Amino acid sequence: MFSQEPAPLSGFIKFMTTFVFVMFAVMIVGFVFSIILLSNQEPSFAVFMAIFVVVFGGLAALTLWICYRQKPHMYKIVNGELIVERAKPWKDIHVSLSEIKSLEILPKISLFSLRVWGNGGLFCVSGTFYSFKLGKYRASVTSIRDLLLIRYGKKALVISPAEPVSFKLELERLMGLKSAS
C-alpha cells in the first residue's frame, strides 16, 4: 500500500472558501439586523425574516458541509487500484491500475474549464469539467498547481497529491512502466 495526502489548499481555493464564508456571514448578519430594526414596525415581516434566516442559514451550512465532504482526504494505491478517499456519504473514486493508459504531471489546471457538474473552489475543486486542452475530466483536487493527470479507459482524472512526482513514479513502478519524467 502506498498513500499520500492531498496537497495543501492553493491560494485560489483558500480565497474562494474565505469569500464564500464571509459572504454567507455578511448575509446572515444583515438579515438578523433587519429583523432587529423592523421588529417594532412590521412584526409580521420580522417573523418572515426570522424564518428566512433560519432556512438560509441551514442551506448555507448544508452547502459548506457538502463541499467539505467532497474534498479528497487521501490518495492511496491498494491491491492494484488507485483510490481517492473522500468522506462519507460520497463514495471513494476507484481506478484500476490495469486501466491506466497514461500519467502526466500538469503544472497547473486552467481556471477556464467549463464546470459540467461539481464544486469550483469551496474547500476543493471536485466534479466533472471540460477544457479544450484536457477534454472531459473528473477532478478531485485541493490545489490548482502541480497536478497529476491520469487517463484510463476513455476517462481522465486529475488529482493533487502532496508530491505528484513521487506519486507518479510509484504508480509507474506498480504498473511496471519505465518513467518518462
Q: What is the pLDDT of residues 41-90, one digit of tens each?
A: 777 777 887 888 889 889 999 999 999 999 999 999 999 999 999 988 88
Rounded to an integer, what distance in angstroms lies between the CA atom of residue 61 and that of residue 59? 5
pLDDT > 70? residue 177:
no
pLDDT tens, 96-144?
A: 999 999 999 998 876 678 889 988 889 999 999 998 888 999 999 999 8
Task: Tell me how many domains the chain contains.
Answer: 1
**pLDDT at res. 92:** 93
**pLDDT at res. 120:** 85
The pTM for the full model equals 0.85
The mean pLDDT of 10-37, rounded to a whole number, is 89
**pLDDT at res. 111:** 63
pLDDT tens, 149-167?
A: 999 989 999 999 999 999 9
Range of the domain at 42: 1-181
**What contacts 24+ positions apart, CB below 8 Å, involve 55-61?**
56/27, 56/28, 56/31, 57/28, 60/24, 60/27, 60/28
**pLDDT at res. 179:** 53
